[in-house]
Structure formats: C-alpha cells, structure tokens
C-alpha cells in the first residue's frame, strides 16, 4: 500500500479542492467510512479498516483527517456537496408528495439504506457524527425551502408560512417509523404525510408567530 505523494500537501480537513488525486482520495475514504458503518457499525470503525478498504495509507489518514471522527465529518460533508435540488412539480401538493416519496424510496432499498441508517446510529454514539448529520440535514432542508416559497407566490400557502418547518414536517413521520418505531415505510405512508402537511399549510398551521416586542410598555 503506497502513500500518495500529493497527500504531503493535502488541504486541511473538510476543505474543498476540486478534481485530481486529492478528490479521488477523499471519495475513496468517504466510501470506506460509509461501508464500514454499514457493515460493522460505529464502534468497530477504525483507521486501520478505512486504510485497508480505501487503499489510503494510515499516515495520510491521520495527517489529513486526524481520526475516525474527522473522517465521519468529512464523509457527510462530501455527501452534502452534491447538486441535489428539491422537486418542482408545479404545485405544493405535488412537491410535498415527491419529497416524501423520495425518502420512502431511499429507505425501501436495503442496499441504499444501509449507509444512511448506520450514520444515524453513529450519531447516537458520537457527538461529531451528530453534529455532521445535523449540518447535512440542515442543508438538505434549506434546499427544500423554495418548494414553500413558490407555493406562497402562487397563493397555495399563506404569507408568512415557515418553509423550514413545512419541509421538516413532511419527513418527520417517515423518520419516526424508520428510526424509532421501526415500522415499514411505503408509498401509502408517504402520501399520508404529504396530505397531512398540505392540509396543515392550507389551514395556516405553519404561519410564523409574530416576534414579541422588546420595547417597554408606555406608562399608563
């Protein structure tokens, strides 16, 4: 196993450097981390395993990522650098349903679900993994907010609707079933979640509460 010469000048953990051998190394480490999580779980994930699986020398791993925690964080950071965008079906109901179905479909395939499921499990055992997972989903939800913004512009949702709260509410019952109650998630469950959230939006349930005044009340 030969150490890459480019690793001598590799960037700091989490920094971006497009293309080239460094990008391939980062992807190989990410894949090894996710495979290790899926196959063995967080407690058994070691630098030695990642080195063997990725073909990247341990010295390089320690220098660039520091430890397993650093590799965990970068694995999700790299996953979050994709070009994914929220659906645009032309209606709020259609967009919410598409979002819910995407979650259901992703976890319906055991092969696709293995890595994200393992990362969620790792987040209960590692503060670094929890912070990384939180940041990943914060970015995902931010990319979903235009779904609600467009709905407000079309008159499908009341002005002041909290876009972030809406997109979280769509996936919340699906993640409850997947990771808490361990119930099956299918198309019917996705449709129910989308319909419920749509009805709540139309009823004004997600309108942001007015900010309380910070000024002192005038004397009587």
| Verdict on whether the full-model pTM lies above 0.95 | no
pLDDT at res. 75: 87
pLDDT at res. 213: 57
pLDDT at res. 110: 85
The string of pLDDT tens digits covering residues 142-181 is 999 999 999 999 999 999 999 999 999 999 999 999 999 9
pLDDT at res. 81: 82
HEC profile for the chain? CCCCHHHHHCCCCCCCCCCHHHHHHHHHHHHHHHHHHHHHCHHHCCHHHHHHHHCCCHHHHHHHHCCHHHHHHHHHHHHCCCCCCCCCCCCHHHHHHHHHHHHHHHHHCHHHHHHHHHHHHHHCCCHHHHHHHHHHHHHHHHHHHHHHHHHHHHCCCCCCECHHHHHHHHHHHHHHHHHHHCCCCCHHHHHHHHHHHHHHHHCCCCECCCCCCCCCCCCC
The string of pLDDT tens digits covering residues 12-57 is 334 444 457 788 899 999 899 988 888 888 888 999 999 999 999 9
The CA-atom distances, in angstroms, between 203 and each of 25, 168, 172 are 50, 17, 19
Mean pLDDT score, 74-99: 91
Mean pLDDT score, 56-68: 92
pLDDT at res. 47: 94
Rounded CA-CA distance 174/181 in Å is 10
pLDDT at res. 159: 96
The string of pLDDT tens digits covering residues 111-150 is 888 888 888 988 998 899 899 999 999 999 999 999 999 9
pLDDT at 216 over 70: no
pLDDT at 7 over 70: no
Higher-confidence position of 42 and 80:
42
Higher-confidence position of 22 and 186:
186
């Amino acid at each position: 196993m030969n150490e890459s010469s480019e690793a001598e000048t590799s960037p700091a953990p989490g920094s971006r450097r497009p293309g080239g051998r460094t990008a391939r190394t980062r992807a190989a480490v990410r894949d090894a981390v996710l495979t290790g999580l899926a196959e063995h779980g967080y407690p058994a994930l070691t630098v030695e395993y990642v080195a063997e699986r990725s073909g990247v020398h341990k010295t390089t791993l320690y220098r660039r990522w520091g430890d397993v925690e650093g590799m965990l964080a970068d694995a999700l950071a790299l996953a979050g650098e994709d070009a994914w965008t929220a659906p645009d079906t032309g209606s709020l109901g259609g967009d919410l349903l598409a979002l819910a179905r995407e979650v259901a479909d992703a976890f319906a395939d055991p092969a696709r679900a293995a890595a994200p499921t393992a990362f969620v499990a790792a987040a209960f055992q590692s503060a670094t993994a929890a912070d990384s997972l939180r940041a990943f989903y914060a970015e995902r939800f931010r990319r979903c907010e235009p779904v609600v913004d467009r709905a407000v512009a079309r008159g499908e949702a009341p002005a002041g609707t909290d876009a972030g709260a809406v997109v979280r509410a769509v996936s919340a019952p699906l993640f409850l079933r997947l990771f808490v109650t361990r119930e099956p998630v299918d198309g019917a469950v996705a449709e129910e979640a989308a319909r419920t959230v749509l009805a709540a939006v139309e009823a004004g349930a997600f309108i942001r509460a007015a900010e309380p005044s910070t000024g002192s009340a005038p004397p009587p």
